[in-house]
Structures are given as C-alpha cells and as structure tokens.
Amino acid sequence: MRIIETGIPEATDYFGILWTMAGIRDCIIVEHGAPGTVTYTQMSFNSMNRRSMFHKIFTCAVNEDDVVMGSDARLKESIKWVDSTYHPSVIAVVATSITAVIGLDIDGIVRSLQPEVSARLIPFSSGGFNGTYFLGIAESSKAVIREFIKPGSYTPTKKKVNILGPTCEQFNTISDLAEIRRLLSLLGISIGTIFPDGCTTDEIKNIPDASLNLVIRDIMIPVGEEIEELSGQKYMYGLPIGLTGTKKWIARVSELLGILYPEEIINDEISRFGFSLTSLFLKIQPYDHLSVILACPYEYAYGLSEMIIKDWGMQVSAVFLPEEPQISEHENYKILFSDLGIHDLYCNPDDDLFESIVNGKKPQILFANSYYLKMAKSVQIKIPAAHPTPDYITMYDGTPFVGFRGYAYLTQMITNMCNAHPEVFIK
C-alpha cells in the first residue's frame, strides 16, 4: 500500500457552516460535540486574519456517557443558556462528527425546542460528512436565506446592490470589499447588505430591497439563485480584476441597473492607476517571457489570468482550482480559460500532481496558498493569493487584488519583486 501525503487536509462542510454562521453578527453557534472540537475550531479561526470567536462559538461538552446513551440533555441545556444569557437573534445548532456517528436527531431537537427559546434555531446535522467546506458555505447560506427572506413581490431601490460571498476564511476580503465599495460609489451605487460576513439578520431580511445581488464567489451562485426564486431579484457573478476585467465588470453592473456607462470616470481611474509594466521596467529588463502559475479559487484564477495575459503581457502556463467551478451551465469554464490560451487546467489536484507540474513548467511567478508556496521551492516570486494563509495577514484594507487600485497594487508588487530577483529577466 502506498501512503500519499496530501498536506493540509481539505476542510469539510462542517467548517464551511461555521465560517458562514460566525460571520452573522447576531448569530451564536452551539456545537453538539466535545470540548476539544471547539478548541480546535477557535484556533483555526485565530489563524485566519486573527479572527476571535470568543463568545461566538459554544459547545455542549458531551462526554462518553452522552455518546453511548445518545443523550440530548446537554445540547438542550446549552441552547437555553446561550439564548437567555446572550439573547442572539439566531442560534446555529451544529452537529460534529460525534453527532452524525451516533445518529442524534438534531433537526428534531431543534423543532421541539424552538417554542422554548426566543432565538431562531437553525439546525445543521451533517457533522462534516456531506462534502467540502465549499458545500458547507453554500448550504448554510441557503438555509439562512430561506429562514429570513420570504417569497413575495418586492419594490427594490434602483441604485442599490447587495454583495454575496464574503466569509471569514476568504483571502483578502477586507481590501477587496473596500475597493468594490469605492468602485460602486463612483457610479453613485449604494450597498445594502454584505452577506454573510459582517451582516445582521435584519440586514438579511432587507436583501430584497436592493435591485441587484453582486455574487463575488462561484460557491455563492446557488444563493443568488435561491434569492432570485424567492424575490425575483437578479444576480450578477464576477469580480473586477485588472484593467480589462474591471471595465467589463463596471459595464455589466451599469447595464443591469440601467445607468449610463461612466466613460469619463473610467478614463480618470485608468489615468491614475493604469500604469503599464512597460513604463516600470527598463529596456534591459524583458518580461514578456515570464511564466505564471495560479492556484486559487475560480474567480481569482480567471480574473488574474486575464490581467496577467491582457494587461501585463506575460504568460500563464497552468491553473489549479480547488474544485469544479459552480458557474452557470452555459458558461464552460474550460472554454473561458482556453480563449485566454490556457489549456493546462487542473481541479482539486493532489500534491504530487501540483509539484510535478510546477517542476516541469518552471514558472518564475506563483500565486497560491501558503502550503503550495512552500512546496514550490524553485519558484523565485511567490505571491499569497488563496486560503489558507496562516502565515500571511490581510487585515489592512489598502491591498486589494480587485478594481483599478488592485491592478495598481499588483503591478507595483510584481515590479518590485522582479527587481528583487533580477535573474527572472534572463531569457
């Protein structure tokens, strides 16, 4: 038997549920599990942009007797205590693997207990056995939407949008949201709700008040579809990355909201932030031969690929995606990458494959998570661009990857990093 080392284990749907529900400000999580489980969970949150989950996640601290007897007493007692002590609007009752193994009926417990507490109880009973954290984020987000948005006809505000997608584990969210907010303000567009990270249940109820949902992660497309089914509200998927990508994104937003494309504003932005690598590198520093590999979620991978090829004039030799993108059926992601000239595309690769491709392609530049960056010992320029990055903090809001400022930031970064490794200019 061959033992394959896979590095960091992929987080399960259990973690996706926690990362989603913890972002809702008036939500508290109660786990049915042992104390060690919630301790590990607290540590994992702390590694993601140093987020503290103190007074946010609680455990009912089951012991061996509870497991053997299948007792639900500790769980009920914990839910009542959290409800009376902290008065949250919603309590997420989350099963761990112990719950799933012993077959405790979390859904039934929640139904019977709901009349006894003030908070809305939402059960999550998978225990981490249904799939990856991507599924957990999507399913828990849909559960919350179904709980707080009722089917009906709404009268939305014309120049108001929501943003669907951010969760606490996501890379560089603070900066990217700040730049998206800035771009929308240039168009005179306000933001209603940012879901789920940082919102309240009242703000979730107000989602239908906006005219458009901007979905910034492919795993949130099912959530956009769920809201559209409930309220008739349209959604648009994508991120504004690079000069080319940002202009297309603004054009789509303008069209869907029925406003004029702001040509003068765009030209002013490009004059301020759209400097080219040709103006930054010396003539003795050729860069068109530089090769890049990307290993990050789909929206980053596609947007960065387009920017690297069309705006920077470099090559993308391979792309690694953590899972199959959830984009609409009529958009074949392989064709989209192929149209950019990228044919080496890998979904959910194992470590051996990643290492062999990197060693074979010999790129000078790699955008990836911390684990992949450490694996790629021969790559000169390494740029954090995906979760997990426990050794790289993105708390400051001035380092976006999106929008015109994101283009300027990344262009400045790549110029400085190439200058620090002059050997990359040798063809």
DSSP string, 259-300: ----HHHHHHHHHHH---HHHHS-TT---TT-EEEEES-HHH
- Using alpha carbons, select from 325, 378, 321 the residue that is nearest to residue 344: 321
Terminal alpha carbon distance of the chain? 43
CB distance 121 to 114 below 8 Å: yes
For residues 156 and 128, give the distance between their C-alpha atoms in angstroms, rounded to a whole number.
37
Q: What is the pLDDT of residues 90-111, one digit of tens each?
A: 999 999 888 777 878 899 999 9
For residues 374 and 1, give the distance between their C-alpha atoms in angstroms, rounded to a whole number.
27
DSSP-derived letter for residue 92 is E
The pLDDT, as a whole number, for residue 59 is 87
Map 340-400 to HEC letters: CCCCCEEECCCHHHHHHHHHHHCCCEEEECHHHHHHCCCCCEEEECCCCCCCCCCCCCCCC
> In this structure, which CATH number among 3.40.50.720, 1.10.287.1080, 3.40.50.1980, 3.30.43.10 belongs to the domain 13-148?
3.40.50.1980
Q: How many CA atoms lie within 13 A of 248 on its CB side?
A: 14
The pLDDT, as a whole number, for residue 50 is 64
What are phi and psi for residue 61, nearest 5 degrees? 55, 60
The pLDDT, as a whole number, for residue 1 is 35
CATH topology agreement for domains 13-148 and 157-269: yes
CATH number of 157-269: 3.40.50.1980
Angle 340-346-350 from CA coordinates, rounded to 5° = 155
Q: What is the pLDDT of residues 11-60, one digit of tens each?
A: 889 999 999 999 999 999 999 887 767 666 766 666 666 666 667 889 88
Q: Where do the structural domains in the chain lie, given as residue ranges?
A: 13-148, 157-269, 272-425
Task: Record the pTM.
Answer: 0.92
DSSP string, 19-67: HHHTTSTTEEEEEES-HHHHHHHHHHHHHTTT---TTTEEE----HHHH
Among left, alpha and beta (phi > 0; psi -120 to 50; other), residue 198 is left
The pLDDT, as a whole number, for residue 36 is 67
The pLDDT, as a whole number, for residue 99 is 78
DSSP string, 201-263: HHHHHTGGGEEEEEE-SGGGHHHHHHHHHHH--EEEE----HHHHHHHHHHHHHHHHT----H
Among left, alpha and beta (phi > 0; psi -120 to 50; other), residue 28 is beta
Within the chain, which residues score under 70 in pLDDT? 1-9, 36, 38-40, 42-54, 66, 68-70, 329-330
Q: What is the pLDDT of residues 117-160, one digit of tens each?
A: 999 999 999 888 888 889 999 999 999 999 999 998 899 999 99
Domain 272-425 coded CATH 3.40.50.1980: yes
For residues 197 and 193, give the distance between their C-alpha atoms in angstroms, rounded to a whole number.
10
**Mean pLDDT of all residues belonging to the chain:** 91
